[in-house]
Amino acid sequence: MEPIINAHAPEFTVQAFQDGQFKTVSNKDIEGKWALFFFYPADFTFVCPTELEDLAGKYEQLKGMGVEVFSVSTDTHFVHKAWHDASERIKKIKYTMLADPTGVLSRGFGVYKEDEGVAYRGTFLVNPEGLIKIAEIQDNSIGRNADELVRKVEAAQFVATHDGEVCPAKWKQGGETLKPSIDLVGKL
């Protein structure tokens, strides 16, 4: 298995659903921007709507941080629209829902579950240079927490603009950071 951190995000062109409209989204649309890819197994399931609703509650904050948010499943854009129309939780979503029925994105990010044709729960943050800075993959029975995701995005953006500083465990915006040096060795 090759490391994905600091690898380039894959090239892609897929259909999407957002704000009652269908559109095409490609890797060109994320160039020069922070982008969050939030993979989940399938529409009309159980854990997925709870996660997508949780992420929808953080969308404006992430947008304010300059982050484009994309949820991704192997459903078509037509199924995304049908789910949006049928579910009160999914109606809250304002971010783009990417359709990946061929698995091109899921395979590109290494989360495609070949035996089921769905994606694992994978979360990836891509920086403006197109490099993956956060990568988390978990079993489909375990839901994620958007609060923790926002904290990690804040940390990634902080270290991107503060050369030589790192964020310790549980770091929050405005908190103390560390500047690794020989003076810190053995003192933490």
CA dist., res. 162 & res. 89, Å (int): 38
Q: Check: CB of residue 129 under 8 Å from CB of residue 40.
A: no
Q: Which of 28, 32, 3, 2 is nearest to 13 (CA)?
A: 28
Among this protein's residues, is 48 annotated catalytic?
yes
**Dist. CA 112–CA 110, nearest whole Å:** 6
Dist. CA 184–CA 178, nearest whole Å: 9
List the catalytic residue out of 14, 48, 119, 134. Answer: 48
Do the beta carbons of residue 23 and residue 16 sit within 8 Å? yes
Strand 112-113 relative to strand 13-18: parallel, antiparallel, unpaired? unpaired
Non-local CB neighbours of 63 within 8 Å, separated by 6+ positions: 69
Pull the structure tokens for residue 138.
């978990």
| Residue 177 host element (H or E) | none
Answer positive or negative: Cα dihedral of 173, 174, 179, 180: negative
Active site residues: 48
